[in-house]
Every structure is written in structure tokens, then in C-alpha cells.
């Protein structure tokens, strides 16, 4: 199957006429060298993309012998067709892996058709969209589920799953209105193998909470893919945006699901008389929580500074806090600032974001026969607390007239002391050949509490890649 | 005898250049601005980044400008190379005299509002700053313009004007040679904030008559310290044409389309 997809894509690439971008074709006369393609019509195909190769070395701090090298790279192709009132786009990513079979979600990173009308457009297909004012970090970006199967990368769009949806935008004066509908639920993607490199569900972290008990967990109810595809799992959302002087303001409403599954630990049975030592067993049920988000986003620009604010309230289907297997209501918030350093092209930003869970019950050993989903999530990701605050900072330094680009992004979770550092140096050897050296440093300061950064501390890596753009 | 004197004075007035009596730095700058003024303009531009060793990188951009009710809007699209293709940039002048700016980057797939006041940053890695791209000379009311004299430069007669900005600017001083015949800049020297060190030099390589006006078709900006230079060649220019207002919207910025 993989061979067929690759062959088809290559054949398609070879047979399609390459269409020069027409720019403002209604204003400018066709340049002599482009008469053959751009003077006939504004419609046509365009092909862009990149072909690349990479080597990524993972440094296992715990067991240095487990350090490994991944060979990566492949072909990314963006095909687009432009008609008088219709656009069609197909984004393919052909990145063969020695470990995993290619799935449609990996191959089709975008597939859509859009039709335009005066003042707006309607798009349908596998889309990636971004809501929120933050610099790559958001708390109201509800449209696409995140993809953590390959850890954290310094590209927010690459960490989104292209989802089937209908999306429409209408604009007038300084206002716009967006509306989307998703017919099915695609949850957050994560490494399925609990022992896998990027596994997020660390059973070790959970069993540590019950030490010195020997703790066995069985998987109970879990929704099937078919159940998640039912039309009853619909989601929709709307956003109204308005520009008022130096402000861009947006109001958001979303009716759907929390994209992260809720893990409900129940039927906890403690056996203190076990001859092999004290032990416990439990069942984990997996489900999703229906919820509504009432959100705001704002950008304010003054001088070289850009201020960004996002906030929202998640109203859960369990708004009375009666269902331990559903997430509670919660507040989410974000404040950020970006600055273009005067006299340079250096851009730096810092963002503070977090959430606060309402009616949160802290975990107490031995007093309950279950662990509510919020409590379990807190045990695994926020040091057992009903809130989590994160600071993210990034700086980008173009050098040598933008031939070289140095970037450093870092994240620090205050409650867990988990952190990530993502440094990179990109060198545009020529306009179509790019070399990039990047790294991922993951871990915790000091002992650290359970968090994905702590879980992934043996996944720090260094990567070299080269890509040809076309 | 009295009639002879009057005749001599009349002859003198006729043969002497008007500038000796009437032209001032400010009046020449006014004329320069008037020469370049248009309610709308469209330019198809080739930008060549030239290293000191002669290596050249090309960029192609198109830019539309429209002034309505005294407020100017500009949309710039990047056509090549592949690494920046389809990047779009919208600037709208607001009533308070500042600019609102948005950028669309294909790599992030959405538009983003950005700070507009930082004009001194390099435009696409070129020797032009964003401010230079808007104008390479100070407006009449932005600086004190002094007519230093007249010189022949590049075999053309020119006025030499020194401009010192009234309020702090990216440059402490500019020296501008204005072509007498077509009232276009032939050369501009940009000095550091203290007005003492030459930072950059702009030279007009070619002038052309386009749509009832003369324009500087090819100019080259050179940074003195690095010897890096940037050549801008206007492939096409159109002035005072009807334009779809939809180009100057965030909707066009995001989709590259107007209906």
C-alpha cells in the first residue's frame, strides 16, 4: 500500500504542469517569461514541497546503552488547484518509517476543497486551523486534536491532527465570523505502546503513587473507533473577531469534547493480607467528556510590543461534579508578550498559561475506592494539584541577512518542575537547500513530579536534517 | 538708460536658473514628493541580494498601495523563492498616524497581527529597512532640508540637499542628490544617528518614463560596513489605477483571493 501511495504521488508530481504563481494577475501584464502559463487563466495547478533526510540521536540518560539513532526524512508535497471560485488542496507527507506502517493520518496532512463567495468562504475536508492570540501556545485552540506521537516539536501546526470538518468564514469591515462543524470525535494522538518512546501514560508514575503497594491495573471500558465516529459525537464552534484600533478581539464558543481521554480508576481493591506483600488492583475506564468552552482572545499592539491574552471557562457535562469519570469545570488562562528588539530583526516572546479545575478533590491514599479523572490527571501531570501553570519563552535571531536563523524555545511547568528546551540552527545554504541542526532537551529540575517531561527525560535528542525545497 | 536696466534685469531673470532665487531644500523636497505621489500604485519588483563576493540571491515581490480618505494601505506578496513564497503582508495606516500590520505565513497557516513601529529591521534580509521600503527620503515636514548646492553626478545636473530629521530617526542625516530634469533621487547617503558616519548609500541605476511619469526603475542600496548591497528592479509599475479594495483585507491576506 505504501509503495502504491508513493508511486502515485511521484507520478502525479511528474505529470502535472507546474504553474507559476500568478500574483496580482488582474493588475500586472504577464511577464515575457511567464506568458505561456499565466496569461491564459488564473486557474491552474501548483506544486510545492520539500524532500529531506534526517538523523536523530536519542540520548538515554538512565540507560546510556539504550541510546539510539533514528533515520528520518521523506517527501512533503503540497498540491493545489485554483479555479475561479474554488480551491482544492492536498498535502501529502511521505515519511517511511522502519517502525510504523504509514497510516492515512500520517500521509494526508491536509485535504480540502474551498469555495469562495463575496465576503467569505466555505471549506470542507481534512483541515488544520488555529484559534487564539498566543505565540504558538494557546488555551482556546479547540479545533484540532494535538498529536504527541513524536513528542514535542517546535512547530505547532505539525503537532495538530488534520480532522474532517466543515469550516466557514465571513468577513465584513473590520469583523469576521468563523463557524465549524466536525461530525466525529478524533481524540488526542499519543504513543499507543505503554513502553514506547513517546508514551504519555506512564504506569510507573501511577504505581509510584501507591508505593509500597504492589499495584495492578486492568483496562476496563474504552470507546472503540466506531463509537467515536458516530454522528452523536459531533462538535461545533464559532468565533467572532473584531479589530478595534490597536486591539484584535475575539469571542469564542465551542460545543464538543475535551480532546484528551479521561482515565477513571475504579474498583480499587487493597489486599493488605497478601502473603506476597500488600497489593492493590484496580480498573481503568477510558472515556471522553462532553464540554462547552466560553472563551476570549485578544491581541494588543503598541510600539514594538505585542500583548496576547486568552481565557476561557470549560463547562463540563459534569458541571455539578457528580460524575468521577468526567472532567470537572475548569478555567483556562494565558497572558503573553512579544517584542521585536529595536534596530534588529530579533523577536522574543514569553507566555504564561495554565488551568484551574473547579471542585477538585486531592488524592488521599486509602480513603476511596476510585480516583476521579481530574485527580488522576493531576497525579500524572500537575503534582497532584488542581491547577497547573506553565511558562514558555522563545527567541528567534536571524543572522547573515536571514541566511542563518537561530531559535531557542523553552517550557517550564511550575508545579512539576518539568521542562523542555528546543534549540535549533537553520542555515539556508541556498534559497532551496536548507540545513538544520536541532535538539530536544527534556526532563525535570531536581527530583521533579510526574509529567510528560519527566516521562520523556530519556528522549533528549540531537537532530541533523537537510531539505530541498521546491 | 532706465529701459536698458529693466531689460537687463528681465534677461537676467530669464537666464538664471529659478533655483538660485526660489528653490529651497523644502521646495525641492515638496516637488520630489509630488512627482512620486499617486492615489494608487502597483509594482512588480525583483530584489537582488548581492554579497560582497558577488554572490546573488533573488527575491520577487508584488506590492499594491492605495490611498483613500488620506489613509494609505499596502499589501505585499512574496512570490519567490520557495522558502518565502505566499507570505503576505498587510499595512493599514490608521487615524492616529500609526500603522496596523498583519502577516500571513504559510508555515503557520494563519494571519497574525504584528508590531508595526519597528521600521529599522531589515526587509527580507536586504539592505533596505522596512522604513526605507516605504520611503528613502524624509518627508517635507519630517526634517529640516537645506539646499547645499548643485553638482553633476552620474553625468546629470543635480541639487544636493542635506536633511536632518526634526525628531529622532533611524538616520541622523541624509544627503540627497535630486535630478534637476526629472526631480528624482539620483543618490542618497544615509548617516548614523549622530550624523557623522556614512552607513548606507542608495544609487539610482536607471530611470524610466512610465505612465506619464519618470520613475527610478533600478536602484541599489549598499551597506558601507559590509559592502553587501541590494538591487531593486521595478519590473512593472502602474499608477492611479482602479483596484479592488478587497486586496487590502485580512481575508485576502489569509486566502490570497478576492471576489
Nearest to B64 among A24, A339, A431 (CB): A24
Nearest to A304 among B49, B96, B115 (CB): B115
Return the ∠ at Cα B158 (arms to B154 and B159), rounded to 5°: 145
Q: Do residues A309 and A296 touch, judged by C-beta distance below 8 A?
A: yes
Q: With a cut of 80, say whether residue A395 has pLDDT above it.
A: yes
Strands (E), B84-228: 88-93, 99-105, 110-114, 143-153, 156-165, 173-179, 185-191, 198-210, 213-223
**Which strand (E) or helix (H) includes residue A222?**
none
What's the pLDDT score for residue B241?
92
Nearest to B255 among A121, A156, A470 (CB): A121
Mean pLDDT, to the nearest integer, of B19-24?
61
How many Å apart are CA B1 and CA B7, to the nearest integer?
10
Which residues in chain B (84-143) have CB-CB distances under 8 A to chain A? Answer: 85-86, 94, 96, 100, 107-110, 113-118, 120-122, 124-126
At the topology level, CATH places domain B24-255 in: outer membrane lipoprotein receptor (LolB), chain A (2.50.20)
The predicted-structure confidence for A141-183, as pLDDT tens digits, reads as follows 999 999 998 899 888 888 999 999 999 999 998 899 999 999 9
Mean per-residue pLDDT over chain B, rounded = 86
Q: Cell digits for B106?
A: 504559510
How many Å apart are CA A172 and CA A162, to the nearest integer?
28
Residue A401 to residue B228, Cβ atoms within 8 A: yes
Which residues in chain A (15-54) have CB-CB distances under 8 A to chain B? Answer: 21, 23-24, 26-29, 31, 48
Phi, psi at A263, each rounded to 5°:
-105, 115
Q: With a cut of 50, say whether residue B13 has pLDDT above it.
A: no
Cis peptide leading into residue B222 (ω within 30°): no
3-state secondary structure of B129: strand
Residue A366: pLDDT band (50, 70, 90) is low
CATH architecture of A118-469: Beta Barrel (2.40)
How many Å apart are CA A189 and CA A202, to the nearest integer?
15
Task: Tell me which chain B residue has its CA closest to the CA of residue A159.
Answer: B108
How many Å apart are CA B108 and CA A157, to the nearest integer?
6
Nearest to A130 among B57, B109, B257 (CB): B109
What percentage of chain A has pLDDT greater than the value 90? 53
What's the pLDDT score for residue A203?
61
Which residues of chain B have a CB within 8 Å of the CB of A405? none
How many Å apart are CA B235 and CA B210, to the nearest integer?
11
> Which ipTM value was assigned to this complex?
0.79
Which residues of chain B have a CB within 8 Å of the CB of A434? 83
Nearest to A23 among B62, B116, B117 (CB): B62
- Residues A324, A327, A329, A335, CA torsion sign: positive
Residue A431 to residue B49, Cβ atoms within 8 A: no
Query: What is the residue extent of each domain of chain A?
Result: 118-469
Q: Does B192 touch chain A (CB under 8 A)?
A: no
The predicted-structure confidence for A421-466, as pLDDT tens digits, reads as follows 999 999 999 989 999 999 999 999 987 788 888 888 889 999 999 9
pTM: 0.85
What's the pLDDT score for residue A52?
95
Query: What is the residue extent of each domain of chain B?
Result: 24-255
Mean pLDDT, to the nearest integer, of A263-290?
84
The predicted-structure confidence for B210-247, as pLDDT tens digits, reads as follows 888 999 999 999 999 999 999 999 999 999 999 988 89
- Residues A111, A115, A120, A123, CA torsion sign: negative
Return the number of CB contacts < 8 Å for A and B. Answer: 122
Q: With a cut of 60, say whether residue B15 has pLDDT above it.
A: no
What's the pLDDT score for residue B17?
44
Q: With a cut of 60, say whether residue B8 has pLDDT above it.
A: no
For the ranges A334-338, A363-367, A382-386, B91-95, the lowest mean pLDDT is seen at A363-367
Which residues of chain A have a CB within 8 Å of the CB of B62? 23-24, 28
The predicted-structure confidence for B146-195, as pLDDT tens digits, reads as follows 999 999 999 999 999 999 999 888 899 999 999 999 999 999 999 999 99
Which residues in chain A (369-388) have CB-CB distances under 8 A to chain B? Answer: none
Amino acid at each position: 500500500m505504501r509503495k502504491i501511495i508513493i508511486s502515485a504521488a511521484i507520478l502525479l508530481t511528474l505529470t502535472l504542469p507546474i504553474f507559476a504563481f500568478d500574483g496580482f494577475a488582474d493588475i500586472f501584464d504577464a511577464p515575457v517569461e511567464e506568458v505561456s502559463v499565466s496569461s491564459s487563466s488564473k486557474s491552474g495547478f501548483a506544486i510545492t514541497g520539500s524532500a529531506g533526510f534526517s538523523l536523530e540521536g536519542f540520548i538515554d540518560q538512565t540507560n546510556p546503552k539504550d541510546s539510539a539513532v533514528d533515520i528520518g526524512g521523506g517527501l512533503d508535497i503540497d498540491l493545489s488547484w485554483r479555479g475561479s471560485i474554488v480551491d482544492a488542496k492536498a498535502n501529502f507527507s511521505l515519511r517511511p518509517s522502519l517502525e510504523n506502517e504509514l497510516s492515512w493520518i500520517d500521509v494526508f496532512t491536509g485535504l480540502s476543497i474551498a469555495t469562495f463567495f463575496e465576503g467569505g468562504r466555505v471549506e470542507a475536508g481534512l483541515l488544520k486551523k488555529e484559534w487564539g492570540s498566543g505565540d504558538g501556545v494557546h488555551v482556546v485552540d479547540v479545533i484540532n486534536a494535538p498529536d504527541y506521537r513524536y513528542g514535542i516539536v517546535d512547530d505547532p501546526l505539525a503537532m495538530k491532527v488534520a480532522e474532517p470538518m466543515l469550516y466557514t468564514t465571513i468577513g465584513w469591515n473590520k469583523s469576521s465570523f468563523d463557524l465549524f462543524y466536525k461530525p466525529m470525535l478524533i481524540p488526542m494522538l499519543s504513543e499507543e505502546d505503554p513502553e514506547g518512546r513517546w508514551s504519555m501514560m506512564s504506569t510507573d508514575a501511577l504505581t509510584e503513587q501507591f508505593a509500597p503497594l504492589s499495584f495492578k491495573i486492568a483496562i476496563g471500558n474504552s470507546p472503540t473507533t466506531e463509537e467515536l465516529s458516530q454522528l452523536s459525537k459531533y462538535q461545533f464552534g464559532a468565533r467572532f473577531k473584531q479589530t478595534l484600533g490597536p486591539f484584535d478581539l475575539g469571542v469564542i464558543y465551542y460545543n464538543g469534547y475535551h480532546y484528551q481521554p479521561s482515565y477513571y480508576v475504579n474498583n480499587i481493591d487493597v489486599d493488605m493480607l497478601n502473603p506476597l506483600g500488600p497489593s492493590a488492583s484496580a480498573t481503568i475506564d477510558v472515556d471522553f467528556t462532553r464540554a462547552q468552552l466560553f472563551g476570549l482572545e485578544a491581541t494588543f499592539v503598541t510600539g514594538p510590543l505585542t500583548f496576547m491574552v486568552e481565557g476561557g471557562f470549560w463547562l463540563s457535562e459534569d458541571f455539578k461534579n457528580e460524575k468521577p469519570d468526567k472532567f470537572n469545570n475548569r478555567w483556562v488562562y494565558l497572558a503573553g508578550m512579544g517584542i521585536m528588539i529595536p534596530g534588529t530583526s530579533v523577536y522574543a516572546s514569553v507566555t504564561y498559561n495554565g488551568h484551574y479545575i473547579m471542585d477538585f478533590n486531592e488524592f488521599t491514599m486509602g480513603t476511596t475506592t476510585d480516583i476521579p479523572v481530574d485527580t488522576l490527571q493531576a497525579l500524572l501531570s500537575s503534582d497532584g494539584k488542581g491547577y497547573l501553570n506553565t511558562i514558555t519563552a522563545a527567541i528567534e535571531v536571524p543572522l547573515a541577512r536571514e541566511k542563518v536563523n537561530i531559535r531557542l524555545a523553552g517550557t517550564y511547568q511550575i508545579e512539576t518542575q518539568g521542562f523542555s528546551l528546543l534549540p535549533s540552527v537553520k542555515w539556508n545554504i541556498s534559497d532551496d537547500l536548507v540545513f538544520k541542526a536541532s535538539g530536544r532537551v527534556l526532563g525535570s529540575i531536581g527530583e521533579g513530579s510526574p509529567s510528560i517531561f519527566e516521562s520523556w527525560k530519556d528522549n533528549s535528542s540531537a537532530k541533523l536534517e537537510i531539505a530541498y525545497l521546491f | 538708460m532706465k529701459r536698458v536696466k529693466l531689460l537687463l534685469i528681465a534677461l537676467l531673470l530669464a537666464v538664471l536658473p529659478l533655483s538660485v532665487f526660489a528653490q529651497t531644500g523644502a521646495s525641492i523636497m515638496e516637488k520630489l514628493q509630488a512627482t512620486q505621489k499617486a492615489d494608487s500604485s502597483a509594482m512588480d519588483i525583483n530584489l537582488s541580494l548581492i554579497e560582497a563576493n558577488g554572490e546573488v540571491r533573488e527575491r520577487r515581490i508584488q506590492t499594491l498601495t492605495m490611498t483613500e480618505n488620506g489613509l494609505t494601505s499596502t499589501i505585499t506578496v512574496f512570490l519567490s523563492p520557495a522558502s518565502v513564497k505566499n507570505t503576505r503582508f498587510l499595512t493599514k495606516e490608521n487615524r492616529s498616524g500609526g500603522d496596523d500590520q498583519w502577516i500571513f505565513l504559510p508555515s503557520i497557516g494563519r494571519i497574525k497581527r504584528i508590531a508595526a513601529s519597528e521600521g529599522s529591521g531589515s526587509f527580507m534580509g536586504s539592505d533596505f529597512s522596512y522604513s526605507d521600503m516605504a520611503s528613502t527620503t524624509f518627508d517635507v515636514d519630517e526634517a529640516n532640508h537645506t539646499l547645499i548646492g548643485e553638482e553633476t553626478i552620474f553625468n546629470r545636473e543635480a541639487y544636493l540637499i542635506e536633511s536632518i530629521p526634526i525628531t529622532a530617526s533611524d538616520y541622523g542625516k541624509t544627503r540627497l542628490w535630486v535630478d534637476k530634469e526629472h526631480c528624482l533621487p539620483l543618490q542618497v547617503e544615509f548617516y548614523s544617528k549622530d550624523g557623522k558616519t556614512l552607513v548606507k548609500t542608495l544609487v539610482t541605476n536607471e530611470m524610466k518614463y512610465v505612465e506619464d511619469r519618470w520613475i527610478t526603475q533600478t536602484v541599489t542600496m549598499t551597506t558601507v560596513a559590509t559592502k553587501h548591497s541590494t538591487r531593486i528592479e521595478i519590473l512593472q509599475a502602474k499608477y492611479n489605477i482602479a483596484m479592488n479594495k478587497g486586496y487590502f483585507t485580512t481575508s485576502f491576506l489569509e486566502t490570497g483571493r478576492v471576489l
